[in-house]
Chain A
Amino acid sequence: MVDHLFREEAGKMTAILIRLFGLGNAELADDIVQETFITAMKKWPLKGVPENPSAWLMKVAKNKALNVVKRERMIREKSSSIPGINKDEAAIDNMFDQQEVKDTQLSMLFTCCYPEIKEREQLILILKILGGFSNAEIGSALLIEPEAVKKAFYRARVKIKNHYTELPELNREETQRRADTVLKAIYLLFNEGYKTSFADDLINADLCYTALRLAHLMTSITLEDSGRTHALLALMYFQSARFPARSGEQAEVLDLKDQDRSKWNRDLINKGFNHLMKSRNSKELSRYHLESTIASAHVQARSFAETDWKLICSCYKKLMMVEPSALIELNYVVALSYLYGAEFGLKKIESIEDSEIKAKQYFLWAAKAEMNVRLGRFGLAKSYYQVACDHAQSSFDKNYLRRKMEECDLNNLSQN
C-alpha cells in the first residue's frame, strides 16, 4: 500500500459524506469512515489488498451511506436533518464518482475557508473534513487539547451552516479572492507541520503532506492567477526537500548551515523548480513567489557559503512591500548580515521594534545572539540566547536554545 493512503482516503470519504449528510451530521460521516476502515482491516489481510484499494474503500463507504439514507428515509422522511435524504441511489452513486470526488473536495476546501471563520478554525476544519485527521491528532499537531479541537470544530460548523448550501457557486472574481484565503490556509497548514516535523513526529509531517495534496487539488481549477498556486507548491516542495537533513543524530535541530546538503531530496527539489517555472505566468509577485524564490536560492547553493544572499536580500526587500511584518523584516536583516557582515546586521536589527514581533520575540534575541557568535563574542551571545530562551514557549525551542548556550560556553573556553 502507498504511504498515507488511508489518511488521503479518509479525507476524500469525509468530504463526500459531509456533503451528503450535512456539516451538522459530521459524526455520522466519521462513523462511516471508521466502519469502512475496520472492514478493510479485517478483510484485506485474509483476502489480500484489493487491486484498487481506493475504489474498494469508496464502494464500501458508499454502501454504508446508502444504508443510512434508506434507514433515515424510513424513520423520518420529512424531519430529517440530512440534506441528501431526497437524493436517489443514482445521484448518491454519482457523488462517489472520481471527478465528482475532486469537485467535492474543492468545494469543501472553499467552504472551510469562509471569510467569517478564523484562520485557526479553518485549519481545524480542513484537517477534519479534508485531511482525515482525528481530534487527538489535530490537537497534538496544533498543540491544543482534543476537547478544544472539538469545540472549535463545532463553533466553525455553526458559522458555516448559514452559508453552506450546495457547492459554492462563485463568479470569476470571487473565486480568485476566495482562492487567496484557501492558499493562505494551505500555507499555514504547511507551516504548522514544518515547524515541528522532525524524524519521529509523523503527524506533523502528515500536515505538510496534506498541504501539498490540497495545493495540487487547487491547480485543477481555473484561476485568474494560477501562478500563485504553483509558487506555493514550489515553496512547499523546497522546504519538504530539506526535511531529512533538519535533525542530527540525537534528533536535535540543525541550523541550515550545519545541514548535510547531500541528504536533501533531489526529487522534491526538481518538483519545486518545475512549479517555480509555472509560477512565472503571474502578472504580479505574491508572497509565495518571493518566498519560493528565497527557498530556491537555498536549495541551489552547494554549501552555506555559496548561498546567493544578494538574491535572497532582494526578495526580502520586495516581500517587505507585499507583506510587511516585523518577522519578515527580521529575516531580511539576518539575510543582510550574511551579505554585509554581522556587525551591519546588529546595527540594522536595532530598528526592529520587538513589541511588534510579539509571540516570536525569541527569534529576535536568537538572531542577535547568532550574530554575536559570528563576531566571536560568545559571552554576550550566551546572554542573548538566555533572553531568547525566556521568551520561547515550547520545550522544543527551549532545548534548541539551551544547546546553543552550551556551544557558547564551549567556544568561550577554547577562546581563553
Chain B
Amino acid sequence: MLLLFDNEDAYKQMSPEDYQEEIEAHGKWIEELGGHFDTGEALEFPSKTVRGEEKIVTDGPFLETKELVGGFYIINAESLEHAAELAKGCPTLRLGGNIEIREVMAM
C-alpha cells in the first residue's frame, strides 16, 4: 500500500493548466504500472480523530502534521524495495509530497 502524503500548499499555487497536466501525469504513471496497479482511493479533507478510551472526537488528523494522507494506492510488488522503486515514478513527489510504503499482511 502506498500512502500518499500530499503537499497541499503546492496544490494551492497551481494554475488550471497545471492541474490538467498533473492529472495526465498521474494517468500516465498508472498506465506505466500496468499489472502492478491494483486499486486506490482519493480521500476527502477534512478529517476527524477519535482518541483513546475516552473516545474524544476532535477535528483534524491524529498527528500534528501539515501533511495529510490524501489518498492511497494498492500495488502488487515483489518486495518493499520493489514497491519503493515503483513509487518513485509517482507524480505527487514532484510537488513535494511524500509516500509511505506498507505491506498489507498476507494472512
Contact = CB atoms under 8 A, between A and B. Distances in A.
Interface of A: 1, 4-7, 9-10, 33-34, 37-46, 49, 132-134, 136-137, 202, 206
Nearest to A44: B23
B30 A41 contact: no
B24 interface: yes
B65 interface: no
Contacts of B27: 44-45, 49
A107 to B, nearest CB: 22
Contacts of A34: 11-12, 14
A43 B42 contact: yes
B79 interface: no
Given A42-B70, A45-B27, A6 B17 contact: yes
A7 B16 contact: yes
A49 B14 CA distance: 20
A175 B71 CA distance: 50
Contacts of A41: 11, 19, 22-23, 26
Contacts of B23: 1, 40-41, 44-45, 49
Contacts of A137: 15
Interface centre among A34, A39, A137 (most CB of B within 10 A): A34
A79 to B, nearest CB: 26
A39 B6 CA distance: 13
A132 B40 CA distance: 30
Contacts, number: 60
Contact of A5 (B14, B20, B29, B41): B20
A137 B18 CA distance: 11
Main SS class of interface, A: helix
A6 B20 contact: yes
Contact of A42 (B12, B16, B30, B42): B42
Contacts of A9: 16
A1 B71 contact: no
B20 A132 contact: no
B24 to A, nearest CB: 7
Interface in B1-53: 11-12, 14-17, 19-20, 22-24, 26-27, 29-30, 39-43
A38 B11 contact: yes
Contacts of A136: 15
A27 B96 CA distance: 25
Please list the 6 inter-chain residue pairs (A to B) with the smallest Cβ-Cβ separation, ordered nearest first.
A45-B26, A42-B42, A6-B16, A10-B16, A6-B20, A37-B19
A125 B41 CA distance: 38
A242 B14 CA distance: 30
B19 A40 contact: yes
A52 B83 CA distance: 34
Contacts of A132: 16
A37 B26 contact: no
Contacts of B11: 34, 38, 41
A202 B16 contact: no
A125 B58 CA distance: 41
Given A42-B42, A45-B30, A206 B24 contact: no
Contacts of A1: 20, 23-24
Interface centre among A33, A40, A44 (most CB of B within 10 A): A44
A34 B12 CA distance: 7
11 contacts: A1-B23, A7-B20, A10-B16, A34-B14, A38-B19, A41-B26, A45-B23, A45-B29, A46-B40, A49-B23, A133-B15
A37 B16 contact: yes
B100 to A, nearest CB: 17
Contacts of A43: 42
A34 B18 CA distance: 11
Nearest to A133: B15
A1 B17 CA distance: 12
A404 to B, nearest CB: 34
A43 B40 CA distance: 9
A46 B41 contact: yes
Given A41-B11, A41-B26, A46-B41, 4 more contacts: A7-B16, A39-B42, A45-B23, A133-B15
A42 B71 contact: yes
Contacts of A46: 30, 39-42, 71
Nearest to B91: A45
A33 B14 CA distance: 11
A137 B15 CA distance: 8
Contacts of B12: 34
B42 A134 contact: no
A92 to B, nearest CB: 22
Nearest to A7: B16
Interface centre among B16, B19, B20, B39 (most CB of A within 10 A): B16
